[in-house]
Amino acid sequence: MKIGVFALQGAFVEHEQMLERLGAEWVEIRRRADFSDCFDGVILPGGESTVQGKLLCEEGLLEPLKSVIEGGMPVFGTCAGLILLAKELSNDPNTYLGTMSVSVRRNAYGRQLGSFRCNEPFADMGTIPMVFIRAPFIESVLPQSGVQILAKVNGNIVAAREKNMLATAFHPELTEDLRVHQYFLSMIKAHE
Protein backbone atom coordinates (compact mmCIF):
# COMPACT_ATOMS: atom_id res chain seq x y z
CA MET A 1 0.00 0.00 0.00
CA LYS A 2 1.40 3.40 -1.01
CA ILE A 3 0.00 6.76 0.10
CA GLY A 4 0.56 10.03 -1.72
CA VAL A 5 1.23 12.77 0.84
CA PHE A 6 0.82 16.31 -0.46
CA ALA A 7 4.04 18.04 0.57
CA LEU A 8 3.35 21.55 -0.72
CA GLN A 9 3.20 23.15 2.72
CA GLY A 10 2.15 22.24 6.25
CA ALA A 11 2.49 19.23 8.55
CA PHE A 12 3.21 16.53 5.96
CA VAL A 13 6.31 15.02 7.62
CA GLU A 14 4.28 14.08 10.69
CA HIS A 15 1.80 12.16 8.49
CA GLU A 16 4.70 10.35 6.82
CA GLN A 17 6.02 9.33 10.25
CA MET A 18 2.60 7.96 11.24
CA LEU A 19 2.41 5.96 8.00
CA GLU A 20 5.90 4.55 8.60
CA ARG A 21 4.89 3.46 12.09
CA LEU A 22 1.94 1.61 10.53
CA GLY A 23 4.12 -0.03 7.87
CA ALA A 24 2.64 1.87 4.92
CA GLU A 25 4.74 3.28 2.09
CA TRP A 26 4.37 6.91 1.14
CA VAL A 27 5.48 9.25 -1.62
CA GLU A 28 5.61 13.04 -1.45
CA ILE A 29 3.59 14.93 -4.03
CA ARG A 30 5.00 18.38 -4.78
CA ARG A 31 4.56 18.77 -8.55
CA ARG A 32 2.28 17.46 -11.27
CA ALA A 33 4.99 14.95 -12.28
CA ASP A 34 4.87 13.41 -8.78
CA PHE A 35 1.15 12.79 -9.17
CA SER A 36 1.77 10.18 -11.89
CA ASP A 37 3.24 7.85 -9.27
CA CYS A 38 0.96 4.95 -8.42
CA PHE A 39 -0.66 5.25 -4.99
CA ASP A 40 -3.71 3.87 -3.19
CA GLY A 41 -4.79 6.95 -1.24
CA VAL A 42 -3.82 10.56 -0.58
CA ILE A 43 -3.33 12.74 2.48
CA LEU A 44 -3.95 16.49 2.49
CA PRO A 45 -2.12 17.79 5.59
CA GLY A 46 -2.76 20.73 7.83
CA GLY A 47 -1.14 24.06 7.11
CA GLU A 48 -2.44 27.23 5.49
CA SER A 49 -5.37 26.36 3.22
CA THR A 50 -5.14 29.47 1.01
CA VAL A 51 -1.45 28.81 0.35
CA GLN A 52 -2.09 25.12 -0.30
CA GLY A 53 -5.01 25.92 -2.64
CA LYS A 54 -2.86 28.39 -4.56
CA LEU A 55 0.01 25.89 -4.86
CA LEU A 56 -2.35 23.11 -5.99
CA CYS A 57 -3.49 25.41 -8.81
CA GLU A 58 0.00 26.68 -9.70
CA GLU A 59 1.45 23.15 -9.82
CA GLY A 60 -1.42 21.83 -11.96
CA LEU A 61 -2.56 19.45 -9.22
CA LEU A 62 -6.06 20.72 -8.37
CA GLU A 63 -7.99 19.17 -11.26
CA PRO A 64 -6.16 15.79 -11.31
CA LEU A 65 -6.61 15.50 -7.54
CA LYS A 66 -10.29 16.37 -7.75
CA SER A 67 -10.72 13.81 -10.53
CA VAL A 68 -9.18 10.91 -8.57
CA ILE A 69 -11.20 11.79 -5.46
CA GLU A 70 -14.41 11.90 -7.49
CA GLY A 71 -13.31 8.57 -9.00
CA GLY A 72 -13.27 7.00 -5.53
CA MET A 73 -9.63 7.19 -4.40
CA PRO A 74 -9.53 7.44 -0.59
CA VAL A 75 -8.42 10.83 0.74
CA PHE A 76 -7.70 12.02 4.28
CA GLY A 77 -7.68 15.77 4.95
CA THR A 78 -6.58 17.27 8.27
CA CYS A 79 -7.35 20.88 9.23
CA ALA A 80 -6.41 22.74 6.00
CA GLY A 81 -7.13 19.48 4.16
CA LEU A 82 -10.71 19.62 5.47
CA ILE A 83 -11.01 23.17 4.13
CA LEU A 84 -9.68 22.09 0.72
CA LEU A 85 -12.23 19.24 0.53
CA ALA A 86 -15.30 21.29 1.61
CA LYS A 87 -17.99 22.20 -0.90
CA GLU A 88 -18.67 25.41 1.04
CA LEU A 89 -16.71 27.75 3.29
CA SER A 90 -19.03 29.85 5.44
CA ASN A 91 -16.55 32.68 5.99
CA ASP A 92 -14.55 32.64 2.75
CA PRO A 93 -15.77 33.05 -0.84
CA ASN A 94 -13.17 30.56 -2.14
CA THR A 95 -13.56 26.83 -2.55
CA TYR A 96 -10.87 24.48 -3.73
CA LEU A 97 -11.60 20.80 -4.40
CA GLY A 98 -15.25 21.06 -3.35
CA THR A 99 -15.75 17.30 -3.16
CA MET A 100 -17.06 16.83 0.41
CA SER A 101 -20.66 17.80 1.21
CA VAL A 102 -19.91 19.99 4.20
CA SER A 103 -19.87 23.69 5.03
CA VAL A 104 -16.72 24.61 6.96
CA ARG A 105 -15.79 27.66 9.01
CA ARG A 106 -12.11 28.58 8.63
CA ASN A 107 -10.20 29.54 11.82
CA ALA A 108 -13.35 28.75 13.78
CA TYR A 109 -11.50 28.70 17.11
CA GLY A 110 -9.68 31.97 16.46
CA ARG A 111 -6.02 32.73 15.97
CA GLN A 112 -3.00 30.80 17.25
CA LEU A 113 -3.94 31.64 20.85
CA GLY A 114 -7.18 29.71 20.33
CA SER A 115 -5.27 26.47 19.75
CA PHE A 116 -5.97 23.67 22.23
CA ARG A 117 -5.83 19.94 23.02
CA CYS A 118 -8.57 17.68 24.26
CA ASN A 119 -9.61 14.02 24.45
CA GLU A 120 -12.94 13.14 22.88
CA PRO A 121 -14.70 10.13 21.32
CA PHE A 122 -13.97 9.38 17.65
CA ALA A 123 -16.26 7.08 15.64
CA ASP A 124 -16.49 3.77 17.52
CA MET A 125 -12.85 3.84 18.68
CA GLY A 126 -13.35 5.39 22.08
CA THR A 127 -11.62 8.54 23.24
CA ILE A 128 -8.62 9.85 21.29
CA PRO A 129 -6.31 12.84 21.75
CA MET A 130 -7.08 15.80 19.48
CA VAL A 131 -4.82 18.77 18.72
CA PHE A 132 -6.46 21.90 17.28
CA ILE A 133 -4.27 24.64 15.75
CA ARG A 134 -6.15 27.64 14.32
CA ALA A 135 -8.67 24.97 13.47
CA PRO A 136 -11.80 24.99 11.36
CA PHE A 137 -14.93 23.05 12.17
CA ILE A 138 -17.81 21.73 10.12
CA GLU A 139 -20.76 24.09 10.56
CA SER A 140 -23.18 21.89 8.67
CA VAL A 141 -23.55 18.78 6.59
CA LEU A 142 -25.24 19.41 3.26
CA PRO A 143 -28.67 17.76 2.90
CA GLN A 144 -28.96 14.20 1.60
CA SER A 145 -25.20 13.81 1.33
CA GLY A 146 -24.63 10.68 3.38
CA VAL A 147 -21.91 12.36 5.44
CA GLN A 148 -21.19 10.47 8.68
CA ILE A 149 -20.27 12.59 11.69
CA LEU A 150 -17.35 10.87 13.45
CA ALA A 151 -16.53 13.34 16.24
CA LYS A 152 -17.75 16.50 17.94
CA VAL A 153 -16.11 18.85 20.42
CA ASN A 154 -18.37 21.19 22.40
CA GLY A 155 -21.17 20.50 19.94
CA ASN A 156 -19.07 21.34 16.86
CA ILE A 157 -18.41 18.71 14.19
CA VAL A 158 -14.65 18.09 14.02
CA ALA A 159 -14.47 14.83 12.03
CA ALA A 160 -16.57 13.38 9.24
CA ARG A 161 -16.55 10.82 6.47
CA GLU A 162 -18.31 10.85 3.13
CA LYS A 163 -17.75 7.77 0.99
CA ASN A 164 -14.00 7.76 0.22
CA MET A 165 -13.27 11.04 2.05
CA LEU A 166 -12.15 11.32 5.68
CA ALA A 167 -11.62 14.76 7.21
CA THR A 168 -10.66 16.05 10.63
CA ALA A 169 -10.44 19.60 11.96
CA PHE A 170 -7.73 18.39 14.34
CA HIS A 171 -4.24 16.99 13.83
CA PRO A 172 -4.01 13.28 14.75
CA GLU A 173 -0.48 13.28 13.29
CA LEU A 174 0.67 15.50 16.17
CA THR A 175 -0.17 12.83 18.75
CA GLU A 176 1.22 9.37 19.41
CA ASP A 177 -2.19 7.76 18.74
CA LEU A 178 -2.25 5.82 15.44
CA ARG A 179 -5.97 5.01 15.37
CA VAL A 180 -7.19 7.73 12.97
CA HIS A 181 -4.46 6.83 10.47
CA GLN A 182 -5.34 3.14 10.93
CA TYR A 183 -8.96 4.06 10.19
CA PHE A 184 -7.84 5.72 6.94
CA LEU A 185 -5.73 2.71 5.94
CA SER A 186 -8.75 0.46 6.58
CA MET A 187 -10.75 2.67 4.18
CA ILE A 188 -8.06 2.05 1.54
CA LYS A 189 -8.09 -1.73 2.13
CA ALA A 190 -11.89 -1.77 1.76
CA HIS A 191 -11.56 0.18 -1.50
CA GLU A 192 -9.02 -2.21 -3.09
DSSP string, 32-43: GGGGGS--SEEE
- Residue 46 is classified by DSSP as S
pLDDT in tens, 1-54: 999 999 988 889 999 999 999 999 999 999 998 886 689 999 999 988 889 989
171 is catalytic: yes
- Name the CATH superfamily for 2-191: Class I glutamine amidotransferase (GATase) domain (3.40.50.880)
* Chain centroid to CA 24: 18
Question: Which of the following is catalytic: 79, 120, 139, 181?
Answer: 79
Q: Domain coordinates of the chain in residue numbers?
A: 2-191
* pLDDT tens figures, 69-113: 999 999 999 999 999 999 999 988 889 999 999 999 988 876 665
> What's residue 126's pLDDT?
96
Residue 118 among the catalytic residues: no
Considering 16, 59, 162, 173, which one is annotated as catalytic? 173
Active site residue 48: no
Identify the active-site residue in 14, 162, 171, 181.
Answer: 171
CA-based R_g, the chain, Å: 15
Torsion, CA 1, CA 150, CA 54, CA 30, rounded to 10:
-20
